[in-house]
Amino acid sequence: MKRRTRINYTPDQKAIIWDRYKQGDSLQDIARMFDRYHSSIMPTIHQTGGYHPLVRKRHPLALSLDEREEISRALVEKITPERFNQCVASIG
One digit per residue, the tens of pLDDT, for the chain of length 92 reads: 577 777 889 999 999 999 999 999 999 999 999 999 888 899 889 888 888 888 888 888 888 888 888 878 877 887 777 877 777 777 76
CA distance 50 to 3: 27
Nearest of 69, 19, 61, 67 to residue 41 by alpha carbon: 19
What pLDDT shows up at residue 57? 87
CA 34 to chain CA mean position, Å: 22
* CB neighbour list of residue 9: distance below 8 Å, 6 or more residues apart: 17, 34, 44
- Counting Cβ atoms within 10 Å, is residue 29 exposed (0-12), middle (13-18) or buried (19+)? middle
pTM over 0.75: no
What pLDDT shows up at residue 1? 58
